[in-house]
Homo-oligomer: A and B are copies of this chain.
Amino acid sequence: MFCNGTLTRFGNIQMCPSSGILNYGQGLFEGLKAYRKEDEGILLFRTEENALRMKVGADRMCMPSPTVDQFIDAVKKTVLANKRWVPPHGRGSLYIRPLLMGTGRNLEVKPSSEYTFLVYASPVGNGLKGVLNLMVEDNVHRATPGGTGGIKAVTNYSPIYKPLTEAKAKGFSDLLYLDALTGSNIEECSGCNIFILKGNVISTPTTHGTILPGITRKSIMEIASGFGYQVEERAIPIKEVFDAEEVFCTGTAMIVKSVASITYQGKRIEYKLGAETLAQKLHATLTGIQTGVIEDKLGWTMVID
Protein backbone atom coordinates (compact mmCIF):
# COMPACT_ATOMS: atom_id res chain seq x y z
CA MET A 1 0.00 0.00 0.00
CA PHE A 2 2.86 2.38 0.82
CA CYS A 3 5.45 2.86 -1.89
CA ASN A 4 9.12 3.06 -0.99
CA GLY A 5 10.06 6.30 0.66
CA THR A 6 13.15 8.45 0.38
CA LEU A 7 15.51 10.09 2.82
CA THR A 8 15.49 13.89 2.83
CA ARG A 9 17.11 16.50 5.04
CA PHE A 10 14.95 17.62 7.99
CA GLY A 11 12.89 20.60 6.92
CA ASN A 12 9.40 21.75 6.11
CA ILE A 13 7.13 19.40 4.24
CA GLN A 14 4.44 20.28 1.71
CA MET A 15 0.92 19.90 3.04
CA CYS A 16 -2.47 20.50 1.44
CA PRO A 17 -4.56 22.94 3.57
CA SER A 18 -7.57 20.62 3.19
CA SER A 19 -5.68 17.48 4.29
CA GLY A 20 -7.24 15.09 6.82
CA ILE A 21 -4.61 15.66 9.48
CA LEU A 22 -5.03 19.47 9.46
CA ASN A 23 -8.82 19.47 9.36
CA TYR A 24 -9.92 16.36 11.26
CA GLY A 25 -6.89 15.15 13.21
CA GLN A 26 -6.48 11.90 11.28
CA GLY A 27 -2.99 11.06 12.50
CA LEU A 28 -0.97 8.69 14.64
CA PHE A 29 2.52 8.86 16.01
CA GLU A 30 5.08 6.59 17.59
CA GLY A 31 8.11 7.32 19.75
CA LEU A 32 11.25 5.23 20.25
CA LYS A 33 14.94 5.69 20.95
CA ALA A 34 18.28 4.62 19.51
CA TYR A 35 21.22 4.29 21.94
CA ARG A 36 24.94 4.14 21.32
CA LYS A 37 26.64 1.11 22.87
CA GLU A 38 29.98 1.36 24.65
CA ASP A 39 31.65 -0.08 21.54
CA GLU A 40 30.00 2.57 19.32
CA GLY A 41 27.39 0.27 17.76
CA ILE A 42 23.82 1.62 17.74
CA LEU A 43 20.93 -0.23 19.38
CA LEU A 44 17.22 -0.08 18.64
CA PHE A 45 14.75 -1.40 21.23
CA ARG A 46 11.67 -3.51 20.38
CA THR A 47 11.00 -1.58 17.20
CA GLU A 48 8.57 -4.21 15.95
CA GLU A 49 6.35 -3.41 18.94
CA ASN A 50 6.04 0.18 17.75
CA ALA A 51 5.34 -1.05 14.22
CA LEU A 52 2.60 -3.37 15.47
CA ARG A 53 1.08 -0.67 17.67
CA MET A 54 0.92 1.66 14.69
CA LYS A 55 -0.95 -1.03 12.74
CA VAL A 56 -3.55 -1.37 15.51
CA GLY A 57 -3.89 2.42 15.72
CA ALA A 58 -4.19 2.80 11.97
CA ASP A 59 -7.05 0.32 11.90
CA ARG A 60 -8.93 2.28 14.61
CA MET A 61 -8.35 5.56 12.74
CA CYS A 62 -9.38 4.11 9.33
CA MET A 63 -5.89 4.54 7.91
CA PRO A 64 -3.72 2.10 5.97
CA SER A 65 -0.46 1.38 7.77
CA PRO A 66 3.06 0.61 6.61
CA THR A 67 4.02 -3.05 7.02
CA VAL A 68 6.16 -4.00 10.02
CA ASP A 69 9.12 -4.36 7.67
CA GLN A 70 8.52 -0.95 6.09
CA PHE A 71 8.24 0.63 9.53
CA ILE A 72 11.45 -0.95 10.84
CA ASP A 73 13.30 -0.21 7.62
CA ALA A 74 12.26 3.47 7.75
CA VAL A 75 13.35 3.75 11.38
CA LYS A 76 16.70 2.06 10.68
CA LYS A 77 17.44 4.24 7.65
CA THR A 78 16.53 7.40 9.57
CA VAL A 79 18.84 6.45 12.43
CA LEU A 80 21.72 5.49 10.17
CA ALA A 81 21.39 8.71 8.17
CA ASN A 82 21.54 10.61 11.49
CA LYS A 83 24.28 8.50 13.06
CA ARG A 84 26.33 11.52 14.04
CA TRP A 85 23.37 12.77 16.08
CA VAL A 86 23.18 9.67 18.26
CA PRO A 87 24.73 10.90 21.54
CA PRO A 88 27.81 9.13 22.99
CA HIS A 89 27.15 6.12 25.22
CA GLY A 90 25.50 7.15 28.47
CA ARG A 91 24.89 10.71 27.33
CA GLY A 92 21.39 10.41 25.91
CA SER A 93 19.72 8.92 22.86
CA LEU A 94 18.31 9.69 19.45
CA TYR A 95 14.54 10.08 19.84
CA ILE A 96 12.73 8.81 16.76
CA ARG A 97 9.25 10.03 15.85
CA PRO A 98 7.30 8.13 13.16
CA LEU A 99 4.12 9.89 11.97
CA LEU A 100 1.25 8.48 9.92
CA MET A 101 -1.25 11.01 8.68
CA GLY A 102 -4.11 11.66 6.28
CA THR A 103 -2.67 13.97 3.64
CA GLY A 104 -5.24 13.77 0.83
CA ARG A 105 -7.71 16.60 0.16
CA ASN A 106 -10.49 16.03 2.64
CA LEU A 107 -13.21 18.65 3.00
CA GLU A 108 -15.84 16.10 4.04
CA VAL A 109 -15.75 14.38 7.47
CA LYS A 110 -14.46 11.01 6.25
CA PRO A 111 -11.17 9.10 5.99
CA SER A 112 -8.56 10.71 3.77
CA SER A 113 -7.91 9.55 0.22
CA GLU A 114 -4.13 9.65 0.68
CA TYR A 115 -1.68 9.02 3.55
CA THR A 116 1.90 9.90 4.40
CA PHE A 117 4.24 7.95 6.66
CA LEU A 118 7.35 9.82 7.74
CA VAL A 119 10.03 9.46 10.37
CA TYR A 120 12.14 12.22 11.91
CA ALA A 121 14.57 12.17 14.79
CA SER A 122 16.18 14.42 17.36
CA PRO A 123 18.93 13.84 19.92
CA VAL A 124 17.66 14.02 23.50
CA GLY A 125 19.38 13.89 26.88
CA ASN A 126 18.83 11.21 29.50
CA GLY A 127 16.00 13.27 30.89
CA LEU A 128 15.87 14.91 34.26
CA LYS A 129 16.85 12.62 37.11
CA GLY A 130 13.98 14.16 39.07
CA VAL A 131 10.83 12.64 40.44
CA LEU A 132 7.18 13.15 39.59
CA ASN A 133 4.63 15.05 41.62
CA LEU A 134 1.24 14.07 40.25
CA MET A 135 -2.16 15.66 40.65
CA VAL A 136 -5.25 13.53 40.17
CA GLU A 137 -7.50 15.12 37.54
CA ASP A 138 -11.15 14.47 38.29
CA ASN A 139 -12.77 16.75 35.75
CA VAL A 140 -11.10 16.07 32.40
CA HIS A 141 -10.63 12.50 31.21
CA ARG A 142 -7.85 11.51 28.87
CA ALA A 143 -9.90 8.76 27.26
CA THR A 144 -13.32 7.21 27.16
CA PRO A 145 -14.50 3.65 26.43
CA GLY A 146 -14.89 3.17 22.68
CA GLY A 147 -12.52 6.09 22.07
CA THR A 148 -8.90 6.31 20.99
CA GLY A 149 -7.13 6.21 24.39
CA GLY A 150 -5.61 2.83 23.62
CA ILE A 151 -3.76 3.99 20.51
CA LYS A 152 -1.25 6.78 19.84
CA ALA A 153 -3.70 9.01 17.97
CA VAL A 154 -2.67 12.67 17.82
CA THR A 155 -6.20 13.42 19.06
CA ASN A 156 -5.37 12.16 22.58
CA TYR A 157 -2.88 14.87 23.40
CA SER A 158 -3.90 18.49 22.71
CA PRO A 159 -7.29 18.03 24.47
CA ILE A 160 -5.41 17.63 27.79
CA TYR A 161 -3.15 20.69 27.29
CA LYS A 162 -5.42 22.93 29.31
CA PRO A 163 -5.65 20.91 32.54
CA LEU A 164 -1.99 19.90 32.15
CA THR A 165 -0.83 23.51 31.75
CA GLU A 166 -2.88 24.51 34.79
CA ALA A 167 -1.40 21.66 36.88
CA LYS A 168 2.14 22.59 35.82
CA ALA A 169 1.48 26.19 36.84
CA LYS A 170 0.66 24.82 40.30
CA GLY A 171 3.99 22.99 40.42
CA PHE A 172 2.86 19.49 39.48
CA SER A 173 4.81 17.40 36.97
CA ASP A 174 1.80 15.76 35.36
CA LEU A 175 -1.82 14.74 35.83
CA LEU A 176 -3.07 11.30 36.79
CA TYR A 177 -6.34 10.65 34.97
CA LEU A 178 -9.30 8.67 36.25
CA ASP A 179 -11.59 6.46 34.17
CA ALA A 180 -14.39 8.38 32.48
CA LEU A 181 -17.20 6.05 33.50
CA THR A 182 -16.84 5.80 37.26
CA GLY A 183 -14.17 8.40 38.02
CA SER A 184 -12.83 6.03 40.65
CA ASN A 185 -10.06 4.03 38.97
CA ILE A 186 -6.68 5.41 37.90
CA GLU A 187 -5.75 5.19 34.24
CA GLU A 188 -2.44 6.85 33.27
CA CYS A 189 -0.72 10.23 33.03
CA SER A 190 -0.59 12.54 29.99
CA GLY A 191 2.21 10.57 28.40
CA CYS A 192 3.20 7.69 30.65
CA ASN A 193 1.78 4.59 32.35
CA ILE A 194 1.65 4.13 36.11
CA PHE A 195 2.54 1.28 38.50
CA ILE A 196 2.02 0.86 42.23
CA LEU A 197 4.03 -1.40 44.52
CA LYS A 198 2.79 -2.96 47.75
CA GLY A 199 4.68 -5.84 49.33
CA ASN A 200 5.69 -8.22 46.57
CA VAL A 201 2.91 -7.11 44.21
CA ILE A 202 3.31 -4.60 41.38
CA SER A 203 0.01 -3.44 39.86
CA THR A 204 -0.82 -1.39 36.79
CA PRO A 205 -4.21 -0.61 35.20
CA THR A 206 -5.39 -3.01 32.50
CA THR A 207 -5.17 -1.63 28.96
CA HIS A 208 -8.76 -2.25 27.90
CA GLY A 209 -8.92 0.51 25.28
CA THR A 210 -8.61 3.66 27.36
CA ILE A 211 -4.94 3.22 28.33
CA LEU A 212 -1.98 3.20 26.00
CA PRO A 213 -0.27 -0.21 25.94
CA GLY A 214 3.17 1.20 26.56
CA ILE A 215 6.18 -0.72 25.30
CA THR A 216 8.19 0.43 28.33
CA ARG A 217 5.21 -0.66 30.48
CA LYS A 218 5.28 -4.12 28.91
CA SER A 219 9.06 -4.41 29.28
CA ILE A 220 8.98 -3.31 32.92
CA MET A 221 6.31 -5.91 33.68
CA GLU A 222 8.54 -8.61 32.22
CA ILE A 223 11.65 -7.40 34.07
CA ALA A 224 9.79 -7.09 37.40
CA SER A 225 8.37 -10.56 36.91
CA GLY A 226 11.93 -11.83 36.37
CA PHE A 227 12.91 -10.15 39.65
CA GLY A 228 10.34 -12.34 41.40
CA TYR A 229 7.57 -9.77 41.84
CA GLN A 230 3.95 -10.68 41.28
CA VAL A 231 2.77 -8.43 38.44
CA GLU A 232 -0.95 -7.67 38.18
CA GLU A 233 -2.90 -5.90 35.47
CA ARG A 234 -6.25 -4.88 36.91
CA ALA A 235 -8.59 -2.01 37.80
CA ILE A 236 -6.87 0.10 40.47
CA PRO A 237 -9.19 2.26 42.61
CA ILE A 238 -7.70 5.66 43.40
CA LYS A 239 -8.14 4.81 47.10
CA GLU A 240 -5.68 1.95 46.76
CA VAL A 241 -3.00 4.39 45.57
CA PHE A 242 -3.04 5.92 49.08
CA ASP A 243 -1.74 2.65 50.55
CA ALA A 244 1.01 2.00 48.00
CA GLU A 245 4.59 1.83 49.24
CA GLU A 246 6.05 3.01 46.00
CA VAL A 247 4.60 4.47 42.79
CA PHE A 248 6.40 4.94 39.47
CA CYS A 249 5.65 5.86 35.90
CA THR A 250 7.00 4.38 32.68
CA GLY A 251 7.34 5.73 29.16
CA THR A 252 9.75 6.00 26.26
CA ALA A 253 10.89 9.47 27.30
CA MET A 254 11.35 8.87 31.05
CA ILE A 255 11.94 5.06 31.00
CA VAL A 256 11.04 4.65 34.72
CA LYS A 257 10.55 7.57 37.08
CA SER A 258 9.61 7.53 40.75
CA VAL A 259 6.47 9.32 41.86
CA ALA A 260 7.28 11.45 44.91
CA SER A 261 3.69 12.46 45.61
CA ILE A 262 0.12 12.20 44.43
CA THR A 263 -2.36 14.95 45.29
CA TYR A 264 -6.05 14.07 45.21
CA GLN A 265 -8.83 16.43 46.29
CA GLY A 266 -6.41 18.48 48.35
CA LYS A 267 -4.78 15.48 50.05
CA ARG A 268 -1.12 14.82 49.29
CA ILE A 269 0.38 11.35 49.70
CA GLU A 270 4.14 10.83 49.56
CA TYR A 271 6.04 7.75 48.48
CA LYS A 272 9.41 6.12 48.95
CA LEU A 273 12.21 7.55 46.81
CA GLY A 274 15.93 7.06 46.35
CA ALA A 275 18.53 4.45 45.58
CA GLU A 276 16.70 1.60 47.30
CA THR A 277 13.49 1.89 45.31
CA LEU A 278 12.29 -0.69 42.85
CA ALA A 279 11.85 2.11 40.31
CA GLN A 280 15.61 2.77 40.36
CA LYS A 281 16.41 -0.91 40.03
CA LEU A 282 14.00 -1.29 37.10
CA HIS A 283 15.34 1.86 35.47
CA ALA A 284 18.92 0.65 35.75
CA THR A 285 18.07 -2.76 34.33
CA LEU A 286 16.02 -1.50 31.41
CA THR A 287 18.45 1.25 30.39
CA GLY A 288 21.24 -1.30 30.82
CA ILE A 289 19.58 -3.54 28.26
CA GLN A 290 18.74 -0.61 25.97
CA THR A 291 22.33 0.63 25.93
CA GLY A 292 23.97 -2.79 25.64
CA VAL A 293 25.53 -2.79 29.12
CA ILE A 294 23.34 -5.64 30.41
CA GLU A 295 23.06 -8.77 28.32
CA ASP A 296 19.81 -8.83 26.34
CA LYS A 297 18.54 -12.33 27.02
CA LEU A 298 15.07 -11.60 25.63
CA GLY A 299 16.06 -10.47 22.14
CA TRP A 300 14.64 -6.97 22.64
CA THR A 301 17.46 -5.04 21.02
CA MET A 302 18.77 -4.90 17.47
CA VAL A 303 22.22 -3.61 16.52
CA ILE A 304 22.22 -1.49 13.41
CA ASP A 305 25.23 -0.33 11.51
Residues of B near A99 (CB, < 8 A) are 17, 22-23
Of A65-73, A81-89, A148-156, A225-233, the one touching chain B: A148-156
Residues of B near A120 (CB, < 8 A) are 17-18
The answer, yes or no, to whether A158 is at the interface (CB within 8 Å) is yes
* A26, B161: Cβ atoms closer than 8 Å: yes
The answer, yes or no, to whether A297 is at the interface (CB within 8 Å) is no
Residues of B near A23 (CB, < 8 A) are 27, 29, 97, 99, 154, 157
* B180, A144: Cβ atoms closer than 8 Å: yes
Q: Beta-carbon contacts of A276-289 to B below 8 Å, as 1s and 0s?
A: 00000000000000
Nearest chain B residue, comparing its CB with the CB of A101: B22
Residues of B near A190 (CB, < 8 A) are 109
The answer, yes or no, to whether A14 is at the interface (CB within 8 Å) is yes
- In the complex, how many angstroms separate the beta carbon of A251 from the nearest chain B beta carbon? 10
- In the complex, how many angstroms separate the beta carbon of A265 from the nearest chain B beta carbon? 16
- In the complex, how many angstroms separate the beta carbon of A216 from the nearest chain B beta carbon? 16
Report A21-72 residues with CB < 8 Å from chain B CB.
Answer: 21-27, 29, 60-62
The answer, yes or no, to whether A248 is at the interface (CB within 8 Å) is no
Among B15, B95, B110, the residue within 8 A (CB) of A12 is B15
* A60, B162: Cβ atoms closer than 8 Å: yes
The answer, yes or no, to whether A92 is at the interface (CB within 8 Å) is no
The answer, yes or no, to whether A171 is at the interface (CB within 8 Å) is no
Report A5-19 residues with CB < 8 Å from chain B CB.
Answer: 10, 12-18
**Given A62-B161, A97-B107: A27 and B22 within 8 A (CB)?**
yes
Residues of B near A101 (CB, < 8 A) are 22
* A155, B161: Cβ atoms closer than 8 Å: no
* A161, B97: Cβ atoms closer than 8 Å: no
* B13, A165: Cβ atoms closer than 8 Å: no
- In the complex, how many angstroms separate the beta carbon of A174 from the nearest chain B beta carbon? 9
The answer, yes or no, to whether A237 is at the interface (CB within 8 Å) is no
Cα–Cα, bound, A10→B15 (Å):
11
Residues of B near A144 (CB, < 8 A) are 141, 144, 147, 180
Cα–Cα, bound, A163→B146 (Å):
10
- In the complex, how many angstroms separate the beta carbon of A172 from the nearest chain B beta carbon? 14
Report A122-159 residues with CB < 8 Å from chain B CB.
Answer: 122, 139-141, 144-148, 153-159
- Interface contacts beyond A24-B158, A110-B165, A147-B159: sample of 4 additional A-B pairs, CB < 8 Å, sorted by A: A17-B118, A24-B161, A110-B161, A111-B165
Nearest 5 Cβ contacts at the A-B interface: A155-B155, A24-B157, A140-B146, A25-B154, A26-B158
